[in-house]
Structure 1
Amino acid sequence: MKIGIGLPNQVRDVRPEILPAYAAKAEEAGFSTLATVGRIAYPGVMDTVALAAAAGATKSIGLISTIMLATVWPPTLLAKEVAGIDGVSGGRLTLGVGIGIREDDFVVDGVGPRGRGNRMDHDLEVYREVWTGKNVGGDENPGVPAGTREVPMLFGGMAPASFARMAKWGQGYIAGSVPAAMVAPTFEASRAAWQEAGREGSPRLVAIAYFALGDADRGRANVHNYYEVSGEFADLVSANVGGTPEAVRTLVAQFEEIGADEFILNPTTDDLDDVARLADIVL
């Protein structure tokens, strides 16, 4: 099982200037992937910006959004942004997407929370058109440079439609930030949807959790604040933060046992030293 690390882009009041250094340290430490968390109505850094900063500050580490709220974006604009980030990185980006649940994240006029599932199905078609060089805006020009690739996608969510989209469009599935016992059924549903769609091989299965090794209490408080709009879910996620070496090792073992191909630990503070602390435990 590969081990990745998140960028602290959605830690409340993160210091944006540390993101390139955080990315460089993660690559030097040997993590498989750098990840972002996406939300609009929160005092963090947009995931597209964080991924672009990481792309410029690194050379080989994978990049992934876990997850990007795709439906809050006009699809052509998001497809162009994502293609640019992938191009700058040299083809290291995997786009993890979901439909979003918080109404306050839908801030663009005409792109609201109603009908977001149907809109996602439409938007996926638009992404492919943009990435394959179709003309945009009624002009005779494509929106991306020649040689742009179709960015690989992973899907989050727990509704049957989420697994169907994953099997049709994606390379695999990203689970939510919940304990491994709750993730296991979603991995099984992903495998089943993959087989039902006639896809070869198996879907890529990615799990995520939170950690805080320098100041675990502050990390748990930050996570709880981030999710408090979700009610009791905030208690569940904050209680599952890996705050000691033993707790982190237990999380790794639990997700490896349920068959995760990659496990990404997202930070809950913007403490740069947590990169080395985590690497000493899991790498």
Structure 2
Amino acid sequence: MSVGLGLPIGDPAQLLSWARRAEATPFRTVALLDRLVYDNPEPLITLATLAGATSRIRVQTEVLLAPLHRTALLAKQAATLDLLSGSRFTLGVGIGGREDDYLAAGVDLRRRGRRLDEQMATLRRLWAGEPLSAQAGPIGPAPARPGGPEVLFGGFVPAVVERVARWGDGFLGAALPPRQMDGLFRGVEAAWARAGRTGRPRLLAQVNVALGPDPVAERAVRELRAYYGPHDYTEHITNGLLTTPAAVRDAVAAYRAIGADEVMLYCWCPDPDQVERLADAAFGTE
């Protein structure tokens, strides 16, 4: 099983340091979230920069809110990043639910699920080299990975499970304890089998972490509360923040036990010294 790092958005200027330091550890992946009406860096541009500054570690959106993006342009951007990174790019996809993001993008919030399904059909065709339409031809470049970059779907509703089976390579579950995540993982595997897919879906679990002196956890909690806003769910998220090496080790072991292929340790405090602290906790090198 692999372990990856979700990158903090509080200080974008630190992200190159995060990626380079992560590459010097056993971490497999660095990932970045997507919002429009927020001060996070744009994920595809940022991950392209990080891919160019590294040579081994994978880069991943976690998750890109695909309905906010123009489909043809997203096909070109994702294929380009996959090609130039040497097939180190994973496109994690979700729909989000914040009305301001959809208002800013000029997209109907109520149609976001249907729009994503339409987008995935188009993306798969374009990555296979087919024309966009009778009026517009293929949109290159061809991705390094045949058929397009690896695609993971994140979310909690039944439609997400079915999207994995129909369009995806795997599932990304966030902010759920292992017992609940186990049910989602098994549901994804069952949908995959019903769809007649060969092999098995990749299964990822995400958990929020903050390791270091007290100010690290305090900053992480402030960032989480600013991001999620005043909501009961916010307290659930902050209460689930892992702040000790033992808690991180236990979580990695618990998700491994339910079949996770990768555990993403998502960071909210921008202190890059967490990279080595988390590596010590996750890989037992302390």
CA distance in 2, matches of 1:253, 1:7: 21
1:209 is the counterpart of 2:207: yes
Deviation at residue 155 of structure 1 after TM alignment: 0.9
CA distance in 2, matches of 1:89, 1:109: 28
Q: Summarize deviations over 1:176-222 as a string: whole Å, max 9, x none.
A: 22222222211111111111111123211000011111211221221
The 5 A counterparts of 1:75-154 are 75-135=71-131, 142-146=138-142, 148-149=144-145, 150-154=148-152
Deviation at residue 108 of structure 1 after TM alignment: 4.8
Change (3 A) 1:79 1:107: farther
Tell me the secondary structure at the aligned position of residue 229 of structure 2: helix
Contact 2:83 2:143 in 1 (8 A): no
CA distance in 1, matches of 2:69, 2:2: 30
Correspondence for 1:69: 65
Tell me the secondary structure at the aligned position of residue 139 of structure 2: coil
Correspondence for 2:22: 26
Deviation at residue 234 of structure 1 after TM alignment: 0.8
1:169 is the counterpart of 2:167: yes
Give the TM-score normalised by the residue count of structure 1.
0.91
CA distance in 2, matches of 1:205, 1:118: 24
Amino acid at match of 1:221: R
Q: Summarize deviations over 1:13-50 as a string: whole Å, max 9, x none.
A: x2222212211110111201111112222211121122
Change (3 A) 1:169 1:22: same
Deviation at residue 107 of structure 1 after TM alignment: 4.2
Correspondence for 1:243: 243
Contact 2:5 2:30 in 1 (8 A): yes
Give the TM-score normalised by the residue count of structure 2.
0.90
Correspondence for 2:45: 49
Amino acid at match of 1:33: T
Contact 2:143 2:149 in 1 (8 A): no
Contact 2:170 2:203 in 1 (8 A): yes
Deviation at residue 172 of structure 1 after TM alignment: 1.0
Correspondence for 1:195: 193
Tell me the secondary structure at the aligned position of residue 110 of structure 2: coil
Change (3 A) 1:173 1:140: closer
Correspondence for 1:226: 227
Correspondence for 2:279: 279
Deviates more, 1:188-197 or 1:212-221: 212-221
Amino acid at match of 1:243: T
Correspondence for 2:157: 159
List runs of 5+ in structure 1 lacking aligned partners: none
Contact 1:178 1:236 in 2 (8 A): no
CA distance in 2, matches of 1:19, 1:218: 17
Q: Summarize deviations over 1:59-114 as a string: whole Å, max 9, x none.
A: 11122212111111111111111112112211111111112211112145542212
Q: How many residues align?
A: 278
Contact 2:127 2:143 in 1 (8 A): no
CA distance in 1, matches of 2:249, 2:108: 41
